[in-house]
Amino acid sequence: MRNKELEQTLALIKPDALKNSLTGYVLSQLSEFHTGLIYAGAKVVHVTRMLAEVHYEEHLDKVFYPSLIEYITGHVHYAEKPHRQRVIAIVYQGPDAVKRVRDVSGPTNPHTAREQKPGCIRSLGTIVTLKDDTGKEIGERMDNLIHASATDDEAEREIKLWFKPNEIPPSMRAYSTLRSEELYYFKDEKLLAKFEPGSVCVVAPGDVMWKSDLEALRLIQKGEEASCSLRTVVAKYLLNEGTEGH
Ligand code: ADP
Ligand code: MG
């Protein structure tokens, strides 16, 4: 990110923060007064399994991965209340956005956070022991209230994963966009050029897309290797659709 004023990062207020009524606290800790950062985008998201899996794909092999997916999709904290399974996704913008939000968030592990950085957001988190069917301890789940992108590259990947360009004001978009001339649908993990019953329209002619997303779709359509997976591009278009199973 060459223009420091345009540096952006993704923050997610996770389901444990919503459940414990810490939303206002987190927003206040990240306010312009405290961090010097401004809002570039914000929305309430019912996190689909697809979005959760793409977001946390780097942790696929970890023992805590299944519980992490259950946690971020809201199934842990709102098991009986699907309508409350949400996170709040926010794009913050300004000088050192990535570092500032990471600093205010604190260490990943809430115990470490309490020891090393009392007062950081994650110092209010908790750790839950995970057991297998026989009751044997197999690991832990870290309920740490907030996600924050760790690097500029991660921020770019995550902002493009969670937000469509038109959810961010044009003058605040940090990454290149293109206006699509194509029509694409998605169904059963496949990209389609024509509507089929049960498919979802991903992009229509005239829509503004992240340039890297549109280039990826063009390659995937031709059966060629793209810079990111089809799921990475389409996950945000299936949010709040009300169609489970994605
Ligand atoms: P961060 O959120 O600080 O970037 P990671 O990317 O390493 O941390 O992990 C993503 C999320 O996975 C963490 O926020 C936490 O909820 C969970 N997590 C990370 N490491 C562990 C672990 N060793 N045991 C259980 N959960 C973990
Ligand atoms: Mg991380």
Beta bridge partners, 181, equal none
Q: Do 147 and 202 belong together in one domain?
A: no
Q: What is the pLDDT of residue 240?
A: 77
Residues 21, 40: Cα–Cα separation, whole Å = 23
Q: Is residue 242 part of a domain?
A: no
pLDDT > 90: percent of the chain = 91
Q: What is the whole-number distance in angstroms between the Cα of residue 12 and the centre of ligand 1?
A: 13
pLDDT at residue 91 greater than cutoff 50: yes
Residue 245 lies in a domain: no
Tokens of 139: 């690991």
Ligand 2 center–CA 150 separation, angstroms: 6
Question: How far does the centroid of ligand 1 lie from the alpha carbon of residue 225, in Å?
Answer: 30
- The two three-digit tokens of residue 94, written as one number: 């300004």
Query: If you take atom 27 of ligand 1, which residue's CA is the nearest one?
Result: 142
Residues spanned by the domain of 188: 177-237
H helices of the chain, where? 15-19, 23-29, 32-35, 49-55, 65-72, 97-105, 110-116, 152-162, 211-221, 230-234
**Tens digits of per-residue pLDDT, 198-217?**
999 999 999 999 999 999 99
Mean pLDDT across 22-38: 97
Could you tell me if 48 and 73 are in contact, meaning their C-beta atoms sit under 8 angstroms apart? yes
* Listed residues 171, 187, 202: the one ending a domain: 171
The last residue of a domain, from among 118, 150, 171? 171
Percentage of residues of the chain with pLDDT beyond 70 = 97
Does 90 share its domain with 127?
yes
Report residues whose beta carbon is within 6 angstroms of any ligand 1 atom. Answer: 64, 68, 108, 139-142, 144, 147, 150
Q: Using the 3D structure, point to which of 171, 192, 209 is the last residue of a domain.
A: 171
- Specify whether 77 is catalytic: no
Residue nearest to atom 25 of ligand 1 (CA): 141
Whether residues 8 and 106 share a domain: the answer is: yes
Asked, for residue 244, whether it belongs to a domain, the answer is no
164, pLDDT greater than 60:
yes
Minimum-distance ligand to the CA of 65?
1
Residue pair 9/91 in contact (Cβ under 8 Å)? The answer is: yes
Give the mutation target among 26, 61, 64 for probing the ligand 1 site: most ligand atoms within 8 A of CB. 64
Instruction: Please report whether residue 243 resides in a domain.
Output: no
Helix axes 152-162, 97-105, angle to 10 degrees: 90
Specify the pTM.
0.95
CATH number at residue 123: 3.30.70.141
Total structural domains within the chain: 2
Side chain identity at 20, as an amino acid letter? Answer: N
203 Cα–ligand 1 center, Å: 33
Q: How far apart are CA 70 and CA 226, in angstroms?
A: 29
Cross-strand pairs, 167? none
Q: Are 125 and 111 in contact (CB under 8 A)?
A: no
Atom 7 of ligand 1, residue of closest alpha carbon? 108
pLDDT at 246: 45
pLDDT at 184 over 50: yes
Q: Which of 65, 141, 142, 144 to mutate to test the pocket of ligand 1 (most atoms within 8 A of CB)?
A: 142
Task: Render pLDDT for 11-20 as a digit per residue (tens, 0 to 9).
Answer: 999 999 999 9
Q: Does residue 202 sit in the same domain as residue 223?
A: yes
Write out pLDDT tens, residues 49-65.
Answer: 999 999 999 999 999 99
Measure the N-to-C terminal CA separation of the chain; round to a whole number of Å: 33
Co-location of 88 and 200 in the same domain = no
Does 75 have pLDDT greater than 50? yes
As a whole number, mean pLDDT of residues 122-144 equals 94
- Reduced to 3 states, what is the DSSP secondary structure of residue 206? coil
CA distance 125 to 120: 10
Does residue 123 sit in the same domain as residue 232?
Answer: no
Which tokens belong to 217? 């779709």
Give the type of residue at 183: L
pLDDT of residue 4: 75
Of all atoms in ligand 1, which is nearest to the CA of residue 58? Answer: 6
Pair (98, 13) in one structural domain:
yes
Measured distance CA(191)–CA(148) in Å, rounded: 30
Q: What is the pLDDT of residue 244?
A: 52
User: Which of 68, 109, 130, 138 has most ligand 1 atoms within 8 Å of its beta carbon, as the pocket-test mutant?
Assistant: 68
Identify whether residues 13 and 122 lie together within a single domain: yes
| Catalytically annotated residue among 46, 55, 77, 147 | 147
166 lies in the same domain as 209:
no
